[in-house]
A and B are shown apart, each in its own frame.
Chain A
């Protein structure tokens, strides 16, 4: 077989090259036309899975989720609201990229029911407040104006002062001296802002009258801690066949934010949410991969040049590999038809393993040529000796990858199939393209084959003559590493994989710091209000659940029970004038006098028992500033400014008072009273009710998400949502790798056993993988690197290397019949070169800022390095120890370099032997 194939190559090298290149071209064209990119994580699971079916059912009812969450710092709430409103308007204009924006709930439907959102206690307090401030309210109703308002406040402060000294003991709970400085300060802040030119109106009445607790805070979406405003968006994917199809839309949002921030200096805002996190991760990963590829190509080229001291030799290997990769593209196009975020990793795996087939054949060919065989003989010997071993190793690796087909995780099944098939095709290229190139090279001008010094390998070979030392040292290292096995775990936290300083991750962390608020939440569906109630109660009782949001969360609690307290407000409100008076003109002199008296009363904290130092200090500061401004500014302009402010202030007051009165006429609020957009978000097209289950604390880690998922499923086994998907995918991957690993191990052992026909040789061939693997775990523990969803994928590659190394060395030893060097030969050199190129190639991934990719590069470099060390030290030592070396037979020396001149050898013609 080897002879026949070598003759075909010898006779038709150009034809072989032409045909293989044509096939590569056709493959590329087919791939360009037919192959799809499917970036969704949903592509990683089989559509028949329960979770997928549930998710599809949810999408039918509620459509796509809000993949984008814009978070705006609400320290300055009025400005933040303006910012969000303008951003929403801007995004809504961009229909090409933005499908839907949701940032504010229409508050009108809530107004007439706003009092029902107060607790009975708050309703009582509101009643008392209206009674207590009846004179003030009456005054500003009859004669609205800043003069009247501040005079009334001053009078109330005077009453509080006198009450504090003389009649405080008569109160039920000593409220004497209580002055609502929060209200005064809110007013003073506004007056100060308007006088300084910032004409932004913020209503002080809502808080003061106890009606400020609207369920969505003026309709804007505020986080629980009121630190951030939220804008939700659904984006369109315009990127077509790329792994980041939504990138452009996300960038549009970021650009819009940046542009707006110029109008709102100091406002902080950022984009997060599942789409942004995934897209940012992909972009970072892509950039990291590009950078790593450049570094890898440079590194491997340098390594090849150092090793082979010419350009053409590595170029032949790379060309052969390139053809194999092209064929793989064509094969994917006609078989699977698409790549997802996991199977897109097949290229580095093919490059990593596929180049080694060429390296082994190249090295052996050089050795055979150096031994004096002509190209034909050399090629035949290469195929017969190294070729068989390389093919066995490759097939073993392929079988290992194909074992992933037995798992239930679609991502891994496809990865196993694509990579396994790709390796077969790369092997095919190594047996066609590479020998054809070698033969063509032989017929060209001066050919120089350099055999680099094997001094290093000879050193290692000599160590194998002291097997006890090597075995004890290796055993010690393994013994140190073994106890650390328990410390290594599979980390689920996707945020920990991301690069430091990535915007979406940064804002997700901020939301988490806000008090457990996360863009991740579980989704539970219910078919009736009763079921919503029952599930909400069960879910909220769970330790891992922070809160449950449903359409009913937007309704007031027990509204019917509050109706009596609301109706009781009719008395104090009924005593107020029904008609609002005309706005009085601003009298600056009077206002100054009132401010002076208020300031006098604020002089001593003891007069206002329940006021905080901060509020008192702020009131003093604000008053001093305003009085300074009033004293120094143009009276006409100031009067105009204050007139404009009081116009807004009292229009708002009238609105608030009207809302209060409207509440007296409203019945208990029901679901159909809620704004349409809320109903659409929480009630599906088929009438299904949506429950959003927010986790308590951080659930990005394994323990957190496991507890959350298991508890939520104890209430509803059909729960879905990001945390559940992440957990399921993670578990499927973990199970898949464990299952795949087990199947792969069995398959590999069968193949190797068949190849060797010896159990002892099988065990020896597996030894570098096992021992090197244990060392790797020890090193991982030392550097506190764990398995994660990014680096797990590299395990089959490391296993492939381990098997290849062991197989080549043991096979060579077997082929030599125990004669000659074990590793100080072309096999050892090939093992060394393929491992070092892989370490350099994949080690380049450690330049990545994406921590997942970094860990991948680290794991692969350390893993391959450990296996290489075990292959070149422990394995020869064991072979030496078990079988001994026939020292009497000298190790054949090969020349350092062989130079052929043009015409020294010609390919045989048709019919020649």
Chain B
């Protein structure tokens, strides 16, 4: 084999290796973040571990327990995406400042509401993971809540991949979407009143706790 031919083969190998490397890097990153179902499972199990943490039991630990759950929710849910979807077409009409203010407000209220629901329901229910479907950057994880009597209720988690990470942006409880619920209620307020009235109500709710 000629020297030129050997160098050519070497070059091909380097390109192939680079190619493999280019492909493997994102895959390995993806593998590090886990599949959507893993993300949901991790979120719910972490929430359960907080709820069952002996160090966080008792009424005097209520605040600490709630804060831990809220922190988890804030970490796993994509508030800007949820806020935008909840406002639907009204989102386009907002200024950047209004959007930022709304996202912050929405995030805080959602965090409280969802943590309240999690605290109430997860403690006495089991979760079964019944399926997962991924469509590009969107995914749905199907779960089933099973109560102590054995009765079941389907709960689907909707996720979106962003920055190599699966982030939750909606939960559908037996066919009823939380984001759709926000959407119809926000729309009603804005239609019958105004965006400012909506924000006012949200601020009032924020100050309650």
B121 proximal to A (CB < 8 A): yes
Partner of B173, one of A161, A170, A596, A603: A161
B52 is an interface residue with CB less than 8 A from chain A: no
A158 touches B120 (CB 8 A): no
* A600 near B201: Cβ-Cβ < 8 Å: no
Q: How far is it, in angstroms, between the C-alpha of A162 and the C-alpha of B153 when the chains are bound?
A: 14
Contact between A604 and B201 (Cβ–Cβ < 8 Å)?
no
Q: How many A-B residue pairs have CB under 8 A?
A: 65
Interface residues of B in 122-150 (CB under 8 A from A): 145, 147, 149
Interface SS, A side: helix
B152 A596 Cβ-Cβ under 8 A? yes
What 1/0 flags go to A161-173 for Cβ under 8 Å of B? 1110111011000
Q: Which residues of A contact B19 (CB under 8 A)?
A: none
Residue numbers in B under 8 Å from A170 (CB-CB): 185-186, 188-189, 198, 201
> Quick one: which of B100-125 are within 8 Å of A by CB?
110, 113-114, 116-117, 120-121
Interface residue A599 (Cβ < 8 Å from any Cβ of B): yes
Known A162-B176, A170-B189, A596-B152; contact A606-B120, beta-carbon cutoff 8 A: yes
Q: Inside 8 A of A158's CB, which chain B residues have their CB? A: 173-176
A154 at the interface (CB under 8 A from B): yes
Contacting residue for B174 out of A154, A603, A606, CB 8 A: A154
Q: What residues of A have a CB within 8 angstroms of the CB of B176 in the complex?
A: 155, 158-159, 161-162
Q: Which residues of B contact A599 (CB under 8 A)?
A: 149, 151
Q: A585-639: which residues lie under 8 A (CB-CB) from chain B?
A: 596-597, 599-601, 603-604, 606-607
Q: How many A residues face the partner with a CB closer than 8 A?
A: 21
B181 part of interface (Cβ distance < 8 Å):
yes
Chain B interface mostly: helix
Which residues in chain B, 168-209, are within 8 Å of chain A measured between CB atoms? 173-178, 181-182, 185-186, 188-189, 198, 201-202, 204-205, 208
Give the shortest distance, in Å, between B99 (CB) and chain A (any CB): 19
Q: How far is the CA of A155 from the CA of B174 in the complex (A)?
A: 8
Contacts of B186 in A (CB 8 A): 170
Residues of A within 8 A of B208 (CB): 169
Cβ of B153 and Cβ of A597 under 8 Å apart?
yes
Task: Type the 1/0 row for A854-880, where 1 means its CB is closer than 8 Å to any CB of B.
Answer: 000000000000000000000000000
Tell me which of B113, B153, B201 contacts A166 (CB under 8 A): B113
Query: What residues on B are CB-neighbors of A159 within 8 Å?
Result: 176, 181
Within 8 A of B (CB), among A772-788: none
A169 and B175 in contact (CB under 8 A), knowing A596-B152, A603-B151, A604-B120?
no
CB distance from B141 to the nearest CB of A (A): 18
CA distance A603 to B153 in the complex (A): 11
Q: How far is the CB of B129 from chain A (nearest CB, A)?
A: 18
Residues of A within 8 A of B201 (CB): 169-170
Q: Is the CB of A166 within 8 A of B189?
A: no
**Chain A nearest CB: distance from B83 CB in Å?**
13
Determine the distance from Cα of A504 to Cα of B199 in the docked complex, in whole angstroms. 67
Known contacts A154-B174, A155-B175, A161-B173; A600 and B152 CB within 8 A of each other: yes
A607 to B176, CA, bound (A): 15
Per-residue interface assignment for chain B, residues 75 to 102, with 1 indicating a CB less than 8 Å from any chain A CB and 0 otherwise: 0000000000000000000000000000
Q: How far is the CA of A912 from the CA of B194 in the complex (A)?
A: 133
Chain B residues in 8 Å Cβ range of A600: 145, 147, 151-153
Q: In the bound complex, how far is the Cα of B152 from the Cα of A858, in angstroms?
A: 76
Provide the bound-state CA to CA distance between A607 and B188, in Å. 23
Contacting A603 at CB < 8 Å: which of B113, B147, B177, B185? B147
Residues of A with C-beta under 8 A to B114: 165-166
Q: For the complex, what is the distance from the CA of A158 to the CA of B154, rounded to whole Å?
A: 11
Chain B's closest residue to A623 (CB) is: B151
- Give Cα A493–Cα B120 distance, bound, in whole angstroms: 62
Nearest Cβ distance between residue B81 and chain A, in whole angstroms? 16
CB-based contact B181/A169 at 8 Å: no
Nearest Cβ distance between residue A175 and chain B, in whole angstroms? 12
Cα distance A599–B174 in the bound complex, in angstroms? 13
Nearest neighbor of A171 in chain B, beta-carbon distance: B185
Cβ contacts under 8 Å, A165 to chain B: 113-114, 116-117
Please indicate the chain A residues that have their CB under 8 angstroms from the CB of B113 in the complex.
Answer: 165-166
What are 7 sample pairs from A and B whose C-beta atoms fall under 8 A apart? A161-B173, A166-B110, A170-B198, A596-B151, A600-B152, A601-B174, A606-B120
Can you add 5 more A-B contacts, CB < 8 Å, to A158-B175, A601-B153, A604-B120? A155-B176, A159-B176, A162-B177, A167-B185, A170-B186
7 nearest A-B residue pairs (beta carbon): A158-B176, A167-B185, A169-B205, A600-B151, A600-B153, A158-B174, A166-B113
